[in-house]
């Protein structure tokens, strides 16, 4: 026996030899971080003729190599030997997933195969390749990595340890739960009932104050820092002003048109937003700048739009929001001109500020505000209801207290 082989592998080979009662022609070896059994007694593969000549063939075990899994690997190798000797063993169907209870079903190799099958099932049919890379692949990769830490035999134990990588009631844990459950459903495996409780409810961790918008002073501070920056261009300034004045989603900068209608600046949003209830069509949004600091012409926005346009790199990016978020992160670190910009502010906070201006500054009805923002009244109330209701509720309480 080779001296450079690890002791656990030597012990495994001796145990396998004892089980075979000394029968030669069988070995256990490590190949590319996987354990496999090699023998001339293995039957022809499905792609070989039945009368193919005897030769050395290898079966990769589902149990990963290592001292912690050596006992499980020995049991799997011995079971394989017994099945081949009794002529009951068959090469596995490469397209089929193992049934519940199969040894090594929860190993990294099998879960990687399951992830590949899920990729083939959903990419192009239900999600785009970029969505897979952002919303599926990181969670499945984490699951496969955890599966390689030890030999797992219980679905609930593996998935529970996987979900504990994220905090309770976080959106990340909810997404991790849903992606892995989707894979389990594809394989036909039973989803552990207790695991469903770990998914949690993202609303439990929501800010009780609701969304975090920019206030008028923060918007003006942001604009001042943009103008002072020596790394951002006038076209970048136009992009940020468009978010401020029209409450756009960052992605809606793609395909945007800016025109004047009866002397008023109007943004024509042509990019459609796809959701579970269908696509949201094009819409026209009038300029509603912050009441404080801002002139009606929004600092000659339409003239600057015609002169500078939008940054080509931002508009052509897969996600303009990511480009804007990176710019905002750098702006937060620059020297304040009057106030600090809180760390929790995001580019989407300008859209939140626009929604509140529609209600508090213009007094628009929920249905009217929702139509301008390109979503349903239900989504508008769910997102902004706490912010819109709270001032009225406090005033009502004060009024009732004064009467008592």
Domain boundaries, the chain: 7-85, 108-205, 216-400
Q: What is the DSSP letter of 53?
A: P
Confidence of residue 231 (pLDDT cuts 50, 70, 90): very high
The encoded tokens of residue 179 equal 């992606």
Range of lowest pLDDT (206-210, 251-255, 260-264): 206-210
- Using alpha carbons, select from 299, 326, 300 the residue that is nearest to residue 313: 326
Looking at the DSSP bridge assignments, the partners of residue 31 are 34
As a whole number of angstroms, the distance between CA 392 and CA 400 comes to: 12
- Using alpha carbons, select from 134, 93, 132 the residue that is nearest to residue 115: 132
Contact between residue 64 and residue 34 where contact means Cβ atoms under 8 Å apart: yes
As a whole number of angstroms, the distance between CA 327 and CA 347 comes to: 9
For residue 372, pLDDT over 90 is answered with yes
Contact between residue 356 and residue 387 where contact means Cβ atoms under 8 Å apart: yes
Range of lowest pLDDT (38-42, 80-84, 126-130, 244-248): 126-130
Question: What pLDDT does 131 receive?
Answer: 86
Phi, psi of 59 (to 5 degrees): -115, 125
For residue 344, count CB atoms less than 10 angstroms from its CB and return exposed for 0-12, middle for 13-18, buried for 19 or more. Answer: exposed
Mean pLDDT of 103-107: 79
Average pLDDT of the chain to the nearest whole number? 86
Range of lowest pLDDT (18-27, 52-61, 182-191, 202-211): 202-211
For residue 206, pLDDT over 80 is answered with no
The string of pLDDT tens digits covering residues 172-186 is: 899 999 999 999 998
Looking at the DSSP bridge assignments, the partners of residue 130 are none
Per DSSP, the chain holds a count of helices (H) and strands (E) of 15, 8
Q: How far is CA 140 from CA 125, 152, 324, in A?
A: 19, 16, 28
Q: What is the DSSP letter of 257?
A: E
For residue 279, pLDDT over 70 is answered with no
| Fold classification of 216-400 (topology level) | hpI Integrase; Chain A (1.10.443)
Question: What pLDDT does 265 receive?
Answer: 94
Indicate yes or no: pTM above 0.75: no
Question: What pLDDT does 305 receive?
Answer: 95
As a whole number of angstroms, the distance between CA 130 and CA 132 comes to: 5
Contact between residue 180 and residue 162 where contact means Cβ atoms under 8 Å apart: yes
Confidence of residue 281 (pLDDT cuts 50, 70, 90): low
For residue 2, pLDDT over 60 is answered with no
Range of lowest pLDDT (92-106, 209-223, 261-275, 336-350): 92-106
Mean pLDDT of 265-272: 89
């Amino acid at each position: 026996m080779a001296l450079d082989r690890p002791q656990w592998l030597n012990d495994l080979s001796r145990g396998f030899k004892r089980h075979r009662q000394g029968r030669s022609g069988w070995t256990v070896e490590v190949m590319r971080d996987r354990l496999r059994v090699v023998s001339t007694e293995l039957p022809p593969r499905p792609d070989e003729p039945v009368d193919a000549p005897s030769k050395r063939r290898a079966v990769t075990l589902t149990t990963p190599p290592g001292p912690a899994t050596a006992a499980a690997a020995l049991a799997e190798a011995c079971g394989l030997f017994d099945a081949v000797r009794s002529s009951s063993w068959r090469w596995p169907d490469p397209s089929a997933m193992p049934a519940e209870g199969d040894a090594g079903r929860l190993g990294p190799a099998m879960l990687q195969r399951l992830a590949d099958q899920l990729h083939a099932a959903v990419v192009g049919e239900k999600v785009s390749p970029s969505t897979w890379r952002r919303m599926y692949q990181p969670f499945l990769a984490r699951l496969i990595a955890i599966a390689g830490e030890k030999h797992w035999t219980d679905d609930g134990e593996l998935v529970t340890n996987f979900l504990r990588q994220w905090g309770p009631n976080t959106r990340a844990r909810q997404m991790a739960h849903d992606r892995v459950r989707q894979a389990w459903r594809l394989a036909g495996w039973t989803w552990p009932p207790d695991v469903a409780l770990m998914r949690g409810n993202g609303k439990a961790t929501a800010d009780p104050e609701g969304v975090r918008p920019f206030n008028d002073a923060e918007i003006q501070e942001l604009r001042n820092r943009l103008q002072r920056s020596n790394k951002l261009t006038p076209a970048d300034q136009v992009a940020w002003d468009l978010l401020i004045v029209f409450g756009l989603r960052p992605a809606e900068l793609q395909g945007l048109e800016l025109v004047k209608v009866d002397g008023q600046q109007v943004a024509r949003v042509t990019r459609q937003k796809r959701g579970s209830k269908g696509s949201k069509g094009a819409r026209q949004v009038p300029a509603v700048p912050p009441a404080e600091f801002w002139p009606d012409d929004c600092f000659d926005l339409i003239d600057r739009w015609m002169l500078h346009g939008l940054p080509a790199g931002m508009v052509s990016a897969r996600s303009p929001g990511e480009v804007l978020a990176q710019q905002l992160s750098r702006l937060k670190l620059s020297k304040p001109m009057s106030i600090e910009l809180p760390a929790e502010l995001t580019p989407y906070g300008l859209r939140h500020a626009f929604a509140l201006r529609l209600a508090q500054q213009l007094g628009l009805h929920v249905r009217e505000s929702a139509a301008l923002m390109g979503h349903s009244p239900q989504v508008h109330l769910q997102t902004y209801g706490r912010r819109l209701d709270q001032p009225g509720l406090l005033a009502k309480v004060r009024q009732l207290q004064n009467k008592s």
